[in-house]
Amino acid sequence: MDRVYIFDTTLRDGEQSPGASMGPQEKLKFAKQLETLNVDIIEAGFAVSSPVQFDAIRMIADEVRKPVICSLARAVEGDITAAGKAIASADRKRIHTFIATSPIHREHKLKMSKEEVLKRAIHAVEFAKTFTSDVEFSAEDATRTEVDYLCEVVEAVIAAGATTVNIPDTVGYTFPTEFQKIISTLFEKVSNIDKTVISVHCHNDLGMGVANSLAAVHAGARQIEVSMNGIGERAGNASLEEVIMSMSVRKDIFPYEFGINTREIYKTSKLLIAIIGIPVSPYKPVIGKNAFSHESGIHQDGFLKERSTYEIMTPEQIGRPSSEIVLGRHSGRHGLKVRLKELGYELEAEDFDKVFVKFQELADKKKAVYDDELIAIMEENTGVQTPDIYEISQVQIVSGNNAIPTATVRIVQAGQVKQEAATGNGPVDAIYKAIDRIAGVQVELDDYEVTSISAGQDAMGEVSVTVRRDGKVYSGHASDTDILMASAQAYMNAINKIIYMEQKTK
Dump the DSSP string for 163-193.
Answer: SEEEEEETTS---HHHHHHHHHHHHHH-TTG
Average pLDDT, the chain: 90
CA quadruple 85, 87, 90, 96: dihedral sign: negative
Residues pairing with 46 in the sheet: 72
What pLDDT score was predicted for residue 383? Answer: 53
What pLDDT score was predicted for residue 324? Answer: 67
What pLDDT score was predicted for residue 441? Answer: 87
What pLDDT score was predicted for residue 456? Answer: 57
Choice between 242 and 477, residue whose per-residue pLDDT is larger? 242
Statement: residue 453 has pLDDT above 60: no
Choice among 135-149, 206-220, 357-371 with the minimum mean pLDDT: 357-371
Q: 494 φ, ψ to 5°?
A: -70, -40
What pLDDT score was predicted for residue 349? Answer: 80
Assign 3-state DSSP to the chain and report helix, strand, coil percentages, each to 5.
45, 20, 35
Task: Measure Cα distances from 374 to 309, 352, 363, 444 in Å.
Answer: 27, 12, 11, 20
What pLDDT score was predicted for residue 322? Answer: 74
- Which domains, ranges and CATH numbers included, belong to the chain? 5-276 (3.20.20.70), 293-382 (no CATH), 391-504 (3.30.160.270)
Q: Which pLDDT band holds residue 468 (cuts at 50, 70, 90)? A: confident
- 419-437 confidence digits (pLDDT tens): 999 999 899 999 999 999 9
Residues pairing with 5 in the sheet: 223
Statement: residue 439 has pLDDT above 70: yes
Round to whole Å and give the CA distance between 208 and 224: 14
Q: Which pLDDT band holds residue 455 (cuts at 50, 70, 90)? A: low
Statement: residue 310 has pLDDT above 90: no
Instruction: Calculate mean pLDDT across residues 286-290.
Output: 89
Cβ burial 361-396 (10 Å sphere, 16+ → b, else e): ebbeeeebbbbbbbbbbbeeeeeeebeebbebeebe
What pLDDT score was predicted for residue 485? Answer: 92
CA quadruple 316, 319, 321, 324: dihedral sign: negative
Strands, sheet with 444-452, edge to edge from the N-terminal-most edge strand: 444-452, 461-469, 472-480
Round to whole Å and give the CA distance between 438 and 432: 10
Q: Report H helices in 190-323.
A: 209-219, 240-249, 265-276, 297-305
- 195-227 confidence digits (pLDDT tens): 999 999 999 999 999 999 999 999 999 999 999
What pLDDT score was predicted for residue 379? Answer: 64
Q: What angle do CA 53, 59, 62 make, to 5 degrees?
A: 140
Statement: residue 22 has pLDDT above 70: yes
**Are the C-beta atoms of residues 181 and 216 closer than 8 Å to each other?**
no
DSSP 108: I
What pLDDT score was predicted for residue 325? Answer: 65
DSSP 229: G
Statement: residue 23 has pLDDT above 60: yes
Instruction: Calculate mean pLDDT across residues 359-368.
Output: 75
Round to whole Å and give the CA distance between 291 and 288: 5
What pLDDT score was predicted for residue 381? Answer: 62
320-334, 443-457, 483-497, range with greatest mean pLDDT: 483-497
Statement: residue 384 has pLDDT above 60: no
